[in-house]
A and B are shown apart, each in its own frame.
Chain A
Amino acid sequence: MDRNRIVVEAEGVRKRFMGATVLDDVNLRISLGDRVAMMGPNGAGKTTLVRCMLGFYHIDGGSIRVAGHDPVTERVEVLRHVGFIPQLPPPVKLTLGELLNFVERSSGTPAEAIAQKAREMELDIIKHRQKPFFKLSGGMKQKLLIAIALARKSRLLVFDEPTASLDPRAREHFYELLQGIDYEHAAIYITHRAEELAGLVNREITMDLGKVVLDERV
């Protein structure tokens, strides 16, 4: 396999929280073109694994490299290539204008590109520029986060249960947008509804008790 295409490389990753082992010898390699549905019961360690990839946690053993870099010591290099959508939209107090300013200045993604993506999901950002993000409705928040992540053209997209707060129509838009991504990338979708992602993913990983118990191409 071409090493240049590897986006995530995890070897023997272990993570403990207060004595409890949450990730137990996780080995995983995700390459460009992989679209992974990550499944498993609550508490299996999915969010924790993803947070390790994003450099939020210091792992207790093993190694992780994302886009060829260490997520903790080289977080800027890693995060330059990652678009992330959290499990729940955080109650960010910045206005939409300020949030877009933050995204543009930190990651170099033009606000206009984000507004364009948002329009494709029927969300008018310009109209709400002065509004604090947390005052938007749940669906609008999620749409904006999705628009930001997609506009960044990242090599790795990470979605932690992204459609939980979307209505069926918005979910359709979301899947259409995902199908329309026209640059090479890898994606991880943490999800409880694998069937919804059927046409979208080409790999399924199941975690349980901090281990990868199933990893297959579909």
Chain B
Amino acid sequence: MKNLLLISYLDIRESLRSKWFYVYAFVFGGLMGLFFISGITDSVVMGFTGLSRLLLVFMQVTIIILPIFILVTTVKSISGDRESNILEYMLSFPISLKEYYWGKFTGRFVTVFFPVFVALLIGVIWGLFKGGGSIPWGMVILYSLLILSLCLSFLGIAFFISTLVKSHDVGLGLSFAVWILLLAFIDVALIGLMMQNRVSDGAIIAIAMLNPLEAFRIGAIALFDPELTVIGPVAYYLLDTLGHGFLMLYAVLYPILIGGLFAFFGYALFRKKDLL
């Protein structure tokens, strides 16, 4: 446990010195903050009638960029360490694989989640001054949880890829493939399935909801627009079968489950396969 904290602390220190972290923190933190602020003001001004175009754009950008950013930087750092023999050296000291792997994981998690979380807090403080009124704490917490679970799901996948594949280049290639596949299954591929008329609508919706990106998307929309008006008729189906509360619970818990599973598979591989 003491070494786990040491590894994650050192990983965080290392990230704080790297350029990708600052690009990430400013671009992404800023984006998240704006997304949230405009979500709040929108729903206050318009009384939960719908999402503004701006808000939708922010959400789409999150869905597109956050996963690839997490995948690429994580795979790059882990398999990069292996290829440059940093891993060989660090693991020649008496620390257990458990402490090393989960230490790296928690370190990565902090660097990925923290900038976004800070941006969110800044948004809240800004809202306090601007609106002067009450902060919708429920929304703040739910939104943080949604981002946290999105981060965890892609961190888990990234750690799995890094331990599955030895080579840096193959790891990056696989990350892109996963990313494109999940993005495609947000709607393009699903529309294709629908047009074939062979798959039932329920099955298509189920496939969509198995995608952690879709879970995040629906959760984020439902947060500001409980009637899910933007997503059209499917909204009735979802709300009828799942209900609003369960939908939110699913949007938060399902990506965490996915990330956790992949992280554990990755850990099992890390122990079972050659380390170098």
Taking Cβ atoms with an 8 Å cutoff, the residues of A that contact B are 51, 54-58, 75-80, 82, 84, 86-88, 90-94, 98, 101-103, 105-107, 132, 145
Contacts of B273 in A (CB 8 A): 58
Task: Identify the 4 closest CB pairs spanning chains A and B, nearest first.
Answer: A84-B92, A79-B94, A90-B85, A90-B86
Q: Which chain A residues border B17 with CB–CB below 8 Å? A: 93, 132
> Is the contact region of chain A dominated by helix, strand, or loop, or is it mixed?
mixed
Structural contact, B89 and A106, CB atoms closer than 8 A:
no
**Bound CA span A101–B10, Å:** 9
Q: Which residue of B14, B89, B90, B95 has the most chain A CB atoms within 10 A of its CB atom? A: B89
Q: How far apart are A87's CB and chain B's nearest CB, in angstroms? A: 8
Complex alpha-carbon distance, A75 and B94, angstroms: 7
Looking at the assembled complex, report how far the CB atom of A60 sits from the nearest CB atom of chain B, in whole angstroms.
11
Whether B86 pairs with A92 at a CB distance below 8 angstroms is yes
> A90, B3: Cβ atoms under 8 Å?
no
Contact A79 B89 (CB under 8 A): no
Query: With contacts A57-B274, A79-B94, A105-B6 known, what are 11 further pairs, Cβ within 8 A?
Result: A57-B275, A57-B276, A75-B96, A76-B95, A82-B92, A87-B85, A92-B89, A94-B14, A101-B6, A102-B90, A105-B3
A106:B88 contact, CB within 8 angstroms = no
B86 to A107, Cβ gap below 8 A? no
**Contact partner of B92 among A57, A79, A105, CB < 8 A?**
A79
Residues of B1-59 whose CB lies within 8 A of A: 2-3, 6, 10, 13-14, 17-18
A106 lies within 8 A of B95 (CB): yes
Those of B244-276 within 8 Å (CB) of chain A: 272-276
Task: Flag whether B61 is at the interface (Cβ < 8 A).
Answer: no
Bound CA–CA A58/B272 (angstroms)? 8
Rounded to whole angstroms, the CA-CA distance of A101 and B13 in the bound complex is 12
B180 at the interface (CB under 8 A from A): no
Interchain nearest-CB distance for A209 vs B (Å): 20
Contact B10 A102 (CB under 8 A): yes
Q: Identify A107's interface contact among B2, B89, B93, B272, CB under 8 A.
A: B93
Q: How far is the CB of B268 from chain A (nearest CB, A)?
A: 14
Contact (Cβ within 8 A) B89 A102? no
In Å, the complex CA distance between A76 and B6 comes to 16
Could you mark each residue 57-97 of chain B with 1 if its beta carbon is under 8 Å from any beta carbon of chain A, else 0? Answer: 00000000000000000000000000011101111111111
Could you mark each residue 79-121 of chain B with 1 if its beta carbon is under 8 Å from any beta carbon of chain A, else 0?
0000011101111111111000000000000000000000000
Q: A105-B2, A105-B6 are in contact. Are A90 and B84 (CB under 8 A)?
A: yes
Q: Report the minimal beta-carbon distance from A172 to chain B, rounded to whole angstroms.
A: 25
C-alpha spacing A106/B93, complex, angstroms: 7
* Residues on A with beta carbons closer than 8 Å to the beta carbon of B94: 75-80, 106-107
Q: With A94-B14, A98-B10 in contact, do A76 and B276 touch (Cβ < 8 Å)?
A: no
